[in-house]
Structure 1
Amino acid sequence: MTERRDPALQSAREQARRIHAGELSASELLEACLARVERHNETLNAIVTLNPEAESEAGAVDAAFAGGKDPGPLAGLVVGIKDVTETAGLRTTYGSPLFADHVPEEDALIVRRLREAGAVILGKTNTPEFAAGGNTWNEVFGVTRNPWNPALSAGGSTGGGAAALATGMISLAQGTDLGGSLRIPASFCGISGLRPTPGLVPTVPAAYLWDDLQSTGLMARDPEDIAFGLRAISGPDPLSPVSAPVPPWGDSGAADLAESRWAYAGDIARIGIDEGVDAACREALTSLRAEGARVEEVDLDLSYAWEAFLVLRGHWFVSHFEAELHRVDAFGPNVSANLRSGLALTAAEIGAAENVRRCVREELLTLFDRYDALLTPCIAIPPFPVEQNYPETVGGRPMETYVDWIAPTFLLSMPGLPVACVPAGVDAGGLPVGLQVVGPPRGEGRVLAVSSAIHRARPIGLPPLVAEA
């Protein structure tokens, strides 16, 4: 079945339009997505737990339309929920053997809002243990593979959602982003992801209720689908003290390139950049300039904030896992290392890190006095072998911890600004390369409009796994 004919591979907006117009039923879309699961999931291991109620959920959407009711803007769309996000009555393991049989009693807020908007929950997507890692693997379900080359990593930590999206198993993917988890897999799998302002979609329930470092959001096959999905689920909630006002979205289409002024920074983390990644990003800039965008190269060095992020990450883990500190060594290597790092911190170190975070935000706000958006490579290297926890070197520089190689994303997590990832093209090996798009406060609409302009200028098509099927 070709991309044009298979509803599973259409944009979420087109799927929703067709369902509302009566051209496609929710049950038919679910059937098409399940066919993609049957075709690709054994190879990729993206969906780890199927929702046994998915067919009845789709049937309820169809019944509502038949009765003259509109179930919501996302009616019938098929959504994958990251396996760190609670789903009532559906196993949620957090990718941890310690919770392999855990079944929550209630939905997380984002899941409830997706359901209320009419979405159908297909199941849970794979993640590293407690989302700690840039490569999606865990001891419960194993590794998730890249649809562009199954020998390679799909990225993390929302790698299952990214691989499922790229192959048409789902319409939208829910995920979380602490240090890049909605952007890294988007880059590796050739889709789009947005880390929204923390609190735009409040993260509840949560042990660390005042968490303003992690963000909850969506990935999709194109940026306009992310805007479409977020409109339906954004807004404050009384259970969360961390909330962001719903931004003025404006037009969900692409930015006017002739009216755009963007900054481009190559190596913001000063870890070096792969030649193929650099070439693909610069080819994207050439394409954008040819269509009228003003893109100016700037020298932006945020490497001074590297250690500060690691401090904040350690504090984040201790805050989230305070009730589990008696069994630090029972967790996998990534989680336990973060907990031990966090337990060794002093109050002075945490305070200093928060002040560095302030400096990063102030530096970027100054940049936005002159530019509409900041563009920078998402990941400095192409996807690496899936068996590796993380790449040992980047640009010849040894990586000391499993998060060092994702510094280009985690440094941009610090200021609390919206950051997207959109494909910039492919490298010489045919692997996707992602560009990050950073916007001003409450600038989700602008970020997604810029991302849409890049998406239209640099289409990369389907992964070989899908195109050859």
Structure 2
Amino acid sequence: MPDESLALLTATEMARRVRAREVSPTEVLDACLARVERLNPAINAVVTPNPRARDEARELERRIAAGEDVGLLAGVPVGIKDVTQVGGLRCTFGSPLFSDHVPEEDALVVRRLRAAGAVILGKTNTPEFAAGGNTFNEVFGRTRNPWNPERSAGGSTGGGAAGLATGMIALAEGTDLGGSLRIPASFCGVVGLRPSVGLVPTVPSDFIWDTLQVTGPMARTAADVALMLQAVAGPTPEAPLSQPAAGRDFVRAVREADARGVRIAYCRDIAGIGIDAGVERVCREAAFALEQAGAAVEEIGLDLSYGRKAFLALRGMWFVSMLHPHLDKLDRFGVNVANNLRAGLATSVEELGAAEQARKRMRARFAELFTRFDLLLTPTMAVPPFPVVENYPRTVGGREMETYVDWLAPTFVLSLTGLPVGSVPAGADGDGMPCGLQVVGAPFGEERVLALQAVMQQLRPMHLPIEP
């Protein structure tokens, strides 16, 4: 029987043991696969296992035996979101229209993960074309929250977050347009990072000039997020918006994390939609707990509500740009994707221009804020995980939402900035459900974001959920 305790190691420790030959890549993979077999039927996180995963693990064993350095992620099992292509493995985008789609080549991020020694365990669940903060689709059904299977795991990288929280995978690749790495990290009690635009190029893409969606990492610890980011960050000629990563050491930033003297601003409601009292209590306590580590924490008012309209306009353009080759299939998409496409097609050039002006205003506001503070903290979500059978929560703090995406505003208004934003567990609410705290960094400030996430995990450690 596989030793399932191996699956619960951090990715950092897994890779260390594999490189030291204390455990083999196959043993680690089998531990994770045993948890997939036992836990996935109730959670539905991994939707397409990689049939070549054991072959990949055995090849790593051969290379290690030959004395080769197999990389930072030696033998670490990774889940790939089902909107990111893996050569020879089904990639459905969560859409019945692509239920039999099998790409020929790996996406850039997958190539970099393989080059760093990771083992691709399989694909993780996502809403159709990653549209929505609750993970369900007509191909694979709903992903459930490991802390309470009647609740949502969040989205759109919900399968990745749920897989991490149950030990099915040690690292998760995902994308983030309006919060898709941060929302499920918050709901499932793990760590997510939305990197700066272009730090992890999204290749291939039907929208190569995309300034809203990014590719990024998710893991159980900030140290593991940093390890994965170290492996996949950096420019490529294939992506016009990629940015350099030479000389940056994300792993060291976490290893040397120190909050002493760090100036932190805390804002309870940046989007002006209200917030659940229980969620806000947990996040406030976590933010001000950083004073114990030597940080200076100050509550501020920061109104980014004008970003809600701007994001909706740009989100519509994003969907039309990304799915332009498939507009003839508009009536065959699910309701969330179809509505986004229709909204995008109805958006005027004037509205897009106004949205870009709002982004400019927001960027200037943050430039001023970062003259006085090093980081901003704000609740990742304004609501706790809601019933999994609902598309979205209709009220926040007792207030009716104006649109079906307004409840996502605490994350999506920050997407407009292009800044690095992470989510780290802040604690659990009165129902025992995880609450996340967003950490917003200055331009190219991933190191500081990761370091503070690491300090927060030391101050507010979270256990893994009770197994279903």
Q: Determine if the TM-score, normalized by the shorter chain, exceeds 0.5.
A: yes
Which residue number in structure 1 is paired with residue 54 of structure 2?
Answer: 55
Which residue number in structure 1 is paired with residue 185 of structure 2?
Answer: 186
The question of whether the paired residues in 2 share the 8 Å contact of 1:254 and 1:452 is answered with no
Secondary structure of 2:422's match? strand
Distance in 1 separating the partners of 2:273 and 2:348: 27
Distance in 2 separating the partners of 1:285 and 1:349: 36
Question: How far off its partner does 1:339 sit?
Answer: 0.4
Question: How far off its partner does 1:438 sit?
Answer: 0.3
Question: How far off its partner does 1:288 sit?
Answer: 1.6
Question: How far off its partner does 1:392 sit?
Answer: 0.9
Q: Deviations over 1:167-197 (max 9, x none)?
A: 1111100000000000000000000000001
1:113 has 2:112 as partner: yes
Distance in 1 separating the partners of 2:359 and 2:137: 31
Question: How far off its partner does 1:411 sit?
Answer: 0.4
Which residue number in structure 2 is paired with residue 9 of structure 1?
Answer: 8
Secondary structure of 2:255's match? coil
Counterpart of 1:425 in structure 2: which amino acid?
G
Which residue number in structure 1 is paired with residue 73 of structure 2?
Answer: 74
Counterpart of 1:21 in structure 2: which amino acid?
A
The question of whether the paired residues in 2 share the 8 Å contact of 1:133 and 1:402 is answered with no
* 1:13-412 mapped onto 2 (5 Å cutoff): 13-246=12-245, 248-249=248-249, 251-253=253-255, 255-412=257-414
Question: How far off its partner does 1:107 sit?
Answer: 0.8
Question: How far off its partner does 1:352 sit?
Answer: 1.2
Distance in 2 separating the partners of 1:226 and 1:380: 24
The question of whether the paired residues in 2 share the 8 Å contact of 1:334 and 1:402 is answered with no
Distance in 2 separating the partners of 1:272 and 1:300: 13
Q: Deviations over 1:43-69 (max 9, x none)?
A: 000000000000000000111001111
Distance in 1 separating the partners of 2:256 and 2:133: 29
Counterpart of 1:439 in structure 2: which amino acid?
G
Which residue number in structure 2 is paired with residue 416 of structure 1?
Answer: 418
1:439 has 2:441 as partner: yes
Distance in 2 separating the partners of 1:99 and 1:347: 31
The question of whether the paired residues in 2 share the 8 Å contact of 1:373 and 1:438 is answered with yes
Distance in 1 separating the partners of 2:381 and 2:122: 28
The question of whether the paired residues in 2 share the 8 Å contact of 1:61 and 1:71 is answered with yes
Secondary structure of 1:465's match? coil
Distance in 2 separating the partners of 1:405 and 1:228: 31
Question: How far off its partner does 1:285 sit?
Answer: 2.6
The question of whether the paired residues in 2 share the 8 Å contact of 1:203 and 1:240 is answered with yes
Secondary structure of 1:365's match? helix
Question: How far off its partner does 1:401 sit?
Answer: 2.9
Distance in 2 separating the partners of 1:401 and 1:90: 36
The question of whether the paired residues in 2 share the 8 Å contact of 1:136 and 1:160 is answered with yes
Distance in 2 separating the partners of 1:358 and 1:12: 38
Secondary structure of 1:236's match? coil
Distance in 2 separating the partners of 1:48 and 1:401: 30
Distance in 2 separating the partners of 1:319 and 1:284: 39
Distance in 2 separating the partners of 1:154 and 1:233: 25
Question: How far off its partner does 1:290 sit?
Answer: 2.6
Question: How far off its partner does 1:461 sit?
Answer: 0.7
Question: How far off its partner does 1:397 sit?
Answer: 1.9
Secondary structure of 2:112's match? helix
Question: How far off its partner does 1:254 sit?
Answer: 5.6
Counterpart of 2:32 in structure 1: which amino acid?
C
Q: Deviations over 1:337-393 (max 9, x none)?
A: 000000011111111111111111111121111111000000001000000000011
Greater CA drift, 145-154 or 285-294: 285-294
The question of whether the paired residues in 2 share the 8 Å contact of 1:254 and 1:451 is answered with no
Counterpart of 1:184 in structure 2: which amino acid?
I
Counterpart of 1:221 in structure 2: which amino acid?
R
Greater CA drift, 318-327 or 184-193: 318-327
Counterpart of 1:309 in structure 2: which amino acid?
F
Counterpart of 1:455 in structure 2: which amino acid?
Q
Question: How far off its partner does 1:327 sit?
Answer: 1.9
Distance in 2 separating the partners of 1:408 and 1:160: 21
The question of whether the paired residues in 1 share the 8 Å contact of 2:49 and 2:123 is answered with yes
Secondary structure of 2:260's match? helix
Greater CA drift, 64-73 or 50-59: 64-73
Question: How far off its partner does 1:400 sit?
Answer: 3.5
CA change 1:410–1:381 in 2 (3 A) is same
C-alpha RMSD of the superposition: 1.4
The question of whether the paired residues in 2 share the 8 Å contact of 1:147 and 1:167 is answered with yes
Percentage of matched positions with identical amino acids: 62
Distance in 1 separating the partners of 2:206 and 2:433: 38
Distance in 2 separating the partners of 1:60 and 1:401: 50
Distance in 2 separating the partners of 1:246 and 1:367: 25
The question of whether the paired residues in 2 share the 8 Å contact of 1:265 and 1:300 is answered with yes
Greater CA drift, 151-160 or 289-298: 289-298
Count of aligned residue pairs for this structure pair: 465
Distance in 1 separating the partners of 2:186 and 2:317: 27
The question of whether the paired residues in 2 share the 8 Å contact of 1:254 and 1:453 is answered with no
Question: How far off its partner does 1:402 sit?
Answer: 2.7
Distance in 1 separating the partners of 2:71 and 2:224: 16
The question of whether the paired residues in 1 share the 8 Å contact of 2:2 and 2:27 is answered with no
The question of whether the paired residues in 2 share the 8 Å contact of 1:254 and 1:450 is answered with no
Distance in 2 separating the partners of 1:430 and 1:252: 28
The question of whether the paired residues in 2 share the 8 Å contact of 1:425 and 1:432 is answered with yes
The question of whether the paired residues in 1 share the 8 Å contact of 2:206 and 2:322 is answered with yes
The question of whether the paired residues in 2 share the 8 Å contact of 1:200 and 1:245 is answered with yes
Greater CA drift, 243-252 or 379-388: 243-252
Question: How far off its partner does 1:286 sit?
Answer: 3.6
